[in-house]
Amino acid sequence: MKPLRPLTKAKAVIRFETRPGEQAQVDFGVFRYRDGDKSVAIFAFVMVLSYSRALYVEFCERQDLSSLIRCHAHAFEFLGGMTGEILYDNLKPVVQGRDGQGYPIWNRRFEDFAWTIGFRPRACKPYRAQTKGRVERAIRYLRENFWPARSLTGLDDLNGQVRAWCAGVANQRIHGTTGRQPAEMQAEERLAPPPDPAKIVPFILEERPVSRDGLVSFGGSRYGVPGHLVGKVVDVREAGGHVEILFQGLRVALLPKALLRGTTVSLPGQWDGVPTGVPKPKRPAAVLRLPEPEVETRPLLVYERLAGGRR
């Protein structure tokens, strides 16, 4: 049948080139490593400048909105600024769905972040992988060039390795499409200055209630909080290798990030000056025994008379 089968025409794809400083593309990739007998999944945040192909990568434990915003801040600092537009896949922290006309319904908190910082978010159409081809190729390049035979002692160590790889390998290579080094073309990018960190902080914080034992849950572990805040709601964020806890905008605790999920990081002097008291033992419930009722015994003749029977 091959000689008789009509030839299929390949669909042409027009490459879309962007101007310097016009666009960046962002996506997450899932990577796995062995921790003893367990297979652990982590996420790689990848931002690539569409003109120069300059690359930034950061690994994180969660693919939530706070992690996404924190990675944006680090990427802007590493790349020296931000583009006017950033293109996303339909990530859950970014796009909540589509309306009847197919337009994206943005996550309100993320949309506020984008306009506050000063860039325009854009979501690619579903099932159009070629729209974000630059960042998809960057993730594949990361998986094939950086990840094989990698060893790590923790997330901070891994991110230190990948930052060095981005600066010394990924952005110094001769790119297959442009024929130039991304670092060389990055000098031609017309990027807006990195945003003021004070504008980013309110979008990274996560609210957490303080339990009765003076702990908050964050990232799968628990952290101590000053005892006088029991029952209150505090703001928690990750700051480098530490976890910062704030109440009404003021820092109340700065603790090292837990190395293992499910552990508890205590706060020295957590209960100093806080009257804890000893709960009074509950009194056992009193049970009262009542005497059995005395039932009068009558002859059956009495009941017959009441019922109108014969005398």
Asked whether residue 191 falls in the same domain as residue 212, the answer is no
Q: Which two tokens stand for residue 107?
A: 């996550």
Q: What is the pLDDT of residue 282?
A: 67
- Name the H helices within the chain: 65-79, 108-117, 133-141, 155-165, 182-186, 197-204, 300-306
Among candidate residues 242, 265, 288, the one where a domain is terminated:
265
Give me the domain span that covers residue 117.
Answer: 23-195
Question: Whole-prediction pTM value?
Answer: 0.72
Q: Which two tokens stand for residue 119?
A: 């860039």
Q: What is the pLDDT of residue 16?
A: 60
Q: How far apart are CA 311 and CA 301, in angstroms?
A: 8
Asked whether residue 171 falls in the same domain as residue 230, the answer is no
Q: What is the pLDDT of residue 136?
A: 93
3-state helix, strand, coil in the chain (%, to 5): 25, 25, 45
**Please, what is the Cα angle at 235 between 234 and 241, to 5 degrees?**
125
Asked whether residue 236 falls in the same domain as residue 164, the answer is no
Q: How many CA within 13 A on the CB side of residue 153? A: 3
Residue 220 maps to a domain: yes
Residue 124 maps to a domain: yes
| Domain count for the chain | 2
Between the alpha carbon of residue 265 and those of residues 121, 240, 286, 289, the distances in Å are 38, 16, 43, 52
Residue 285 maps to a domain: no
Asked whether residue 182 falls in the same domain as residue 151, the answer is yes
Asked whether residue 124 falls in the same domain as residue 245, the answer is no
Q: What is the pLDDT of residue 9?
A: 64
Asked whether residue 30 falls in the same domain as residue 87, the answer is yes
Segments of the chain with pLDDT less than 50: 13-14
The radius of gyration of the chain's CA atoms, rounded to the nearest angstrom, is 32
In contact, 114 and 95? CB cutoff 8 Å: no
Task: Say how far residue 280 (Cα) sits from the centre of its chain.
Answer: 42
What count of residues does the chain have? 311
* Residue 228 DSSP symbol: G
In contact, 83 and 51? CB cutoff 8 Å: no
Whose tokens are 């950086």? That residue is 146
Residues 6+ apart with CB under 8 A from 177: 53
Residue 64 maps to a domain: yes
Residue 55 maps to a domain: yes
What's 124's domain CATH number?
3.30.420.10
Asked whether residue 90 falls in the same domain as residue 50, the answer is yes
Strands 23-35 and 233-239 come out as unpaired
* Residue 81 DSSP symbol: S
Between the alpha carbon of residue 85 and those of residues 20, 115, 175, 184, 308, the distances in Å are 11, 11, 22, 21, 102
Asked whether residue 127 falls in the same domain as residue 237, the answer is no
Residue 66 maps to a domain: yes
Asked whether residue 92 falls in the same domain as residue 230, the answer is no
Q: How far apart are CA 73 and CA 199, in angstroms?
A: 10
Asked whether residue 91 falls in the same domain as residue 182, the answer is yes
**Which DSSP string corresponds to 148-216?**
TT---SSHHHHHHHHHHHIIIIITTS--TTTSS-HHHHHTT--PBPPPPHHHHHHHH-EEEEPPTTSEE
